């Protein structure tokens, strides 16, 4: 097995674990998001026991299936897709994403 395939399988395992332990997840299109804006989002999410992760859509699709969630078609979503995990509540991550969008970060859109 190639090293690249092993890395992809390891990434799928990590993502599936994150999906399994999260109480909620939000897919976002981050095209045009500046690094400083992404870091601000990550800090806000960490403070609320959440996490922002960027991965290939095909890997996200496989990880969702592996976690046993009834979601499909992630690979067919348009744009660059990231995922926001909420490990404590069910709306905390969504509120942070929403306030980030309302705060003027036009590049960020929930999918």
Q: What is the mean pLDDT of residues 61-89?
A: 88
Sign of CA dihedral 60, 72, 81, 2: positive
Q: Is residue 65 pLDDT above 80, yes or no?
A: yes
Kindly report the three-state secondary structure assignment for every residue of 74-110: HHHCCCCEEEEEECCCCCHHHHHHHHHHHCCCCCCEE
Give residue 92's pLDDT: 82
Strands 24-29 and 50-54: unpaired
Q: What is the mean pLDDT of residues 29-51?
A: 90
Token pair recorded at residue 10? 């390891």
Q: Is residue 11 pLDDT above 90, yes or no?
A: yes
């Amino acid at each position: 097995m190639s090293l690249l395939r092993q890395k992809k399988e390891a990434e799928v395992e990590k993502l599936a674990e994150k999906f399994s332990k999260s109480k909620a997840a939000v897919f976002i299109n981050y095209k045009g998001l500046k690094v400083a804006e992404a870091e601000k989002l990550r800090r806000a999410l960490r403070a609320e026991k959440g996490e922002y992760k960027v991965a290939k859509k095909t890997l996200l699709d496989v990880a969702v299936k592996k976690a046993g969630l009834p979601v499909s078609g992630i690979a067919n979503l348009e744009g660059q897709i990231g995922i926001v995990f909420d490990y404590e509540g069910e709306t905390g991550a969504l509120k942070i994403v929403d306030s980030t969008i309302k705060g003027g970060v036009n590049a960020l859109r929930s999918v």
